[in-house]
Homo-oligomer: A and B are copies of this chain.
Amino acid sequence: MSKIRVSEIFGPTIQGEGALIGEPTVFVRTGGCDYRCSWCDSLHAVDSDYRADWLPMDAYEIFEKIIKLSKGKPLTVSLSGGNPAIQDFGPLIEMGKKQGYRFALETQGSITQDWFKDLDLLILSPKPPSSDQVVDWDAFEACVRAAQQARTAMKIVIFDDEDYRWAKGVADRYSSLPLYIQPGNHTPPPPDEPDARIDMQGILDRMEWLVDKTLNDGWFAPRILPQLHVLLWGNKRGV
């Protein structure tokens, strides 16, 4: 069985963002990403400097850890990264679903896997201009198609006016997908200092900016949500 490079497995805690906000969740964060977003808040799972911390685990080992954390009671497992779509989660999802666990995956939409169709929720999070990445829309489209009947939602992080305009364009193109927008965290934790203090007022201000901008603009399609875990617990990791 192929190995998955795991940066961290933690929980249960509540999902802090997007479509599953508030949902009791165990997180499996994988190491490695084909992107390098300028404001990445998960550098410890992206930068190859931290590669030594990524443990190769097979589906059995991961599921054992999930069962231990959840005391064997089925819940939602969130697969994140890095880009978790790099890994082969097919066997884990199959194994977990048999015991009632549900699986959500969040990815930027650059890499497709045929097991996307087995997810309970696929969250596609295309990266806006401020990330300095360029979206390959054919690859993104392939992800949407691979999801087949799996529930799919879109999440876009917005830092500035340009991101906002871009998000509206993407939303028009994929108007059938439920959309969640969230203000960017301009003070992500440095990877070596996961508990660094954050600029809470700045985070609140950016949320207010995004809410005001969207609503004054009469754009009522997206839900607008902050990173709840940051509001509740700062940048602290593993909660």
Q: Which residues of A are interface residues toward B (Cβ below 8 A)?
A: 12-14, 20-24, 70-71, 73-76, 180, 204, 207-208, 211, 214-215, 218-220, 222-226, 228, 231-233
Contact = CB atoms under 8 A, between A and B. Distances in A.
Given A21-B225, A23-B223, A225-B21, A232 B207 contact: yes
Contacts of A225: 21-22, 228
Contact of A215 (B13, B21, B220): B13
Contacts of A75: 220
Contact of A224 (B24, B71, B214, B218): B24
21 contacts: A13-B215, A20-B223, A21-B21, A21-B223, A21-B225, A22-B224, A22-B225, A24-B220, A24-B223, A24-B224, A70-B218, A71-B218, A73-B220, A75-B220, A76-B220, A204-B232, A207-B232, A208-B232, A225-B228, A228-B228, A231-B231
Contacts of A228: 225-226, 228
A180 B76 CA distance: 15
A182 to B, nearest CB: 9
Nearest to A19: B22
B180 A22 contact: yes
Contacts of A215: 12-14, 24
Contacts of A70: 218, 220
Most B Cβ at <10 Å: residue of A21, A71, A220: A220
A150 B70 CA distance: 33
Contacts of A21: 21-22, 223, 225
A211 to B, nearest CB: 6
Nearest to A71: B218
Contacts of A180: 22
B71 A220 contact: no
Nearest to A207: B232
Contacts of A24: 214-215, 219-220, 222-224
